[in-house]
Amino acid sequence: MKSPTNYQHLPPGPKGQLIGLFKLNQINHPLHPLPALTLTCIILETMRLYPPVWAMPQTIATECKIGAYPVKRGHGLLACQWIVHRDARWFSNPDTFNPERWDNDLAKRLPSFAYFPFGGGTRVCVGKAFAMMETVSVLATIAQTYRFTLVSEQPIQPWASLTLRPQQPKL
Ligand code: HEM
């Protein structure tokens, strides 16, 4: 498995140029215009393929059927972002890192829980909006000066600990 090479999607860092907080979604460098591709798209796509919370244990509240499977009240199941986010019904070429797919409001067109890096329902992550703003800010700040490259071609193995992380982080 290859790591997302999202640095390829970013224009070269405009050194010394401060990107205003309200323009963080759009780095539009005159030499490398990528106006349609926003940092938000890059982050949404990264969390699609590499959801920081890769699965959430749930307790069934009401007896029902999920697909062909009857489930009883009190039973447990795993709502697994890692699997659901790679469903070809909602994401064409699901294993390909393609931030452009989030253009044209894909997020609004998806069925509920086709994409849920922050969970959903009554217990949805309370830090969701803050986390998105923070991640976009950090990526925009770093991208002004630095580009990430791998030190080797060694594939990065995801490690499914409580949160998803690389087994041997090497940048
Ligand atoms: C990329 C960053 C983050 C991800 C992917 C994430 C993901 C999640 C997920 C999947 C849940 C479980 C939701 C559910 O049960 O349906 C959750 C819950 C929660 N998150 Fe986050 N989170 C992030 C950042 C944050 C931040 C920055 C804060 C606080 C500032 C935060 C605070 C919380 C809290 C308090 C809950 C528990 C909500 C409840 O049970 O009522 N999270 N988060």
Domain coordinates of the chain in residue numbers? Answer: 10-147
How much distance in Å is there from the Cα of 125 to the middle of ligand 1? 3
Give me 76's structure tokens: 């447990």
Least confident range from 21-25, 54-58, 94-98, 117-121: namely 21-25
Nearest to 2 by CA among 49, 45, 67: 49
> 79 CB less than 6 Å from ligand 1?
no
Mutate to test the pocket of ligand 1, among 45, 53, 118, 138 (most ligand atoms within 8 A of CB): 118
The per-residue pLDDT for 142 is 80
> Can you name the residues that pair with 88 across neighbouring β-strands?
none
Which pLDDT tens digit goes with each residue over 107-150?
999 999 999 999 999 999 999 999 998 998 888 788 777 777 77
> 120 CB less than 6 Å from ligand 1?
yes
Which pLDDT tens digit goes with each residue over 38-74?
788 889 999 999 999 999 999 999 999 989 999 999 9
**pTM, to two decimals:** 0.81
How much distance in Å is there from the Cα of 124 to the middle of ligand 1? 7
Contact 150, 163 (CB under 8 A): no
How much distance in Å is there from the Cα of 47 to the middle of ligand 1? 13
Secondary structure string (H, E, C) spanning the chain: CCCCCHHHHCCCCCCCCCCCHHHCCCCCECCECCCCCCHHHHHHHHHHHCCCCCCEEEECCCCEEECCEEECCCCEEEECHHHHCCCCCCCCCCCCCCHHHHCCCHHHHCCCCCCCCCCCHHHCCCCHHHHHHHHHHHHHHHHCCCCCCCCCCCCCCEEECCCEEECCCCC
CA–CA separation, 90 vs 98, rounded Å?
Answer: 13
CA–CA separation, 137 vs 20, rounded Å?
Answer: 10
How much distance in Å is there from the Cα of 16 to the middle of ligand 1? 34
C-alpha angle 154-156-157 in degrees, rounded to nearest 5: 130
How much distance in Å is there from the Cα of 59 to the middle of ligand 1? 18
CATH match for 10-147 among 3.10.310.10, 1.10.630.10, 2.60.40.10, 1.10.1500.10: 1.10.630.10
Residue 78 φ/ψ, nearest 5 degrees: -105, 125
Contact 32, 12 (CB under 8 A): yes
Mutate to test the pocket of ligand 1, among 40, 77, 125, 136 (most ligand atoms within 8 A of CB): 125
